[in-house]
Amino acid sequence: MAGEDAGRFGGRVALVTGASSGLGQAVARSLSEGGARVFGVGRDEARLKAALDGPENAWLAADLTSPAACTEAARACAERFGGIDILVNAAGAHTMRHTAEVSDQEWERDLAVNLSAPFFLSRAALPHLLERGGCIVNVASIAGLEGQAYSAGYCAAKHGLIGLTRAMALEFDGRGIRVNAVCPGGMTTPLLENFTFPEDPDYALIMKTATARGLMDPAQVANVIAFLCSDEASAVHGAVYTVDNGKMAL
């Protein structure tokens, strides 16, 4: 892994959620290879260790549906590495359900994972980011830009995450930090591989979210996120980048 003073992220500290698999893991690896010291957060400690093993990185197994866990993650990262320069809110969860059958608990979890956790992590990291001139990248989804069948909670949360990104970008304009969002389309991740559909779905509705170019590799999206975290994107603030193999152009 790259040393502290090497690469485009040399000397910087990155807090990445969802780092145990999928897109979060790809982002953590990309930033680490660019010289950042990465503090990865996820639910699977063994996978975190496998992805981030090395003296330049650290990890914390945590369930970020708890506000206290989000606060602790930011505190632990800052304590381990002396601050935070980059926050990538990549953790997410998507379960398709018939809207009329969504329970209170399922609705609350959809919002907790996909919207509340990025807010609580951002709130906890802000003092460090403001001090060091850092950046936040929120991983939304094309579901934050359009409706998707059987995904009321997920769509609501991802639309909200885009709103949060824009609100924070406006509030902190001129304060030395940047806040942006990325909206990926379908990727070959464990989330998709373990995906289940609700009973008796209308597959024609589900296929409206597909693209003829197929699924992306998480590394393709991680490359865009790494760009937004870099000095090359110093003029990019309050932006919402769509990375979806052309889906939203259809």
Q: In this predicted structure, what is the pLDDT of residue 193?
A: 65
pTM for the model stands at 0.93
Rounded distance between C-alpha atoms, residue 81 and residue 7, angstroms: 18
Nearest CA among 186, 173, 14 for reference residue 88: 14
Burial (CB < 10 A; 0-12, 13-18, 19+), residue 10, is middle
**Tens-place pLDDT, residues 215-242:** 899 999 999 999 999 999 999 999 999 9
Mean pLDDT score of the chain, rounded to an integer?
A: 93
- Which residue in the list 150, 154, 203, 241 is annotated as catalytic? 154
List Cα–Cα distances, 173 to 40, 60, 106, 178, in angstroms.
27, 31, 35, 8
Class of domain 13-249: alpha beta
Residue 45's contacts (CB-CB under 8 Å, 6 or more residues apart) are 20, 59, 61
Q: In this predicted structure, what is the pLDDT of residue 4?
A: 44
Ranges in the chain, pLDDT < 70: 1-6, 191-194
Q: In this predicted structure, what is the pLDDT of residue 2?
A: 37
Cα angle: 194, vertex 198, 199; to 5 degrees: 125
Helix, strand, coil % (nearest 5) of the chain? 50, 15, 40
Q: In this predicted structure, what is the pLDDT of residue 138?
A: 98
Q: In this predicted structure, what is the pLDDT of residue 194?
A: 67
Q: How many CB atoms lie within 10 A of CB 56?
A: 15
Tokens found for residue 6: 């090497």
Q: In this predicted structure, what is the pLDDT of residue 192?
A: 67
Radius of gyration for the alpha carbons in the chain, expressed in angstroms and rounded:
17
**Tens-place pLDDT, residues 159-189:** 999 999 999 999 999 999 999 999 999 888 8
Nearest CA among 114, 107, 98 for reference residue 184: 114
Q: In this predicted structure, what is the pLDDT of residue 207?
A: 79
- Distance between the two ends of the chain, CA-based, in angstroms? 40
Nearest CA among 162, 169, 122 for reference residue 242: 162
Does residue 203 carry a catalytic annotation? no
Beta-carbon-side half-sphere exposure of residue 60 (alpha carbons within 13 Å): 21
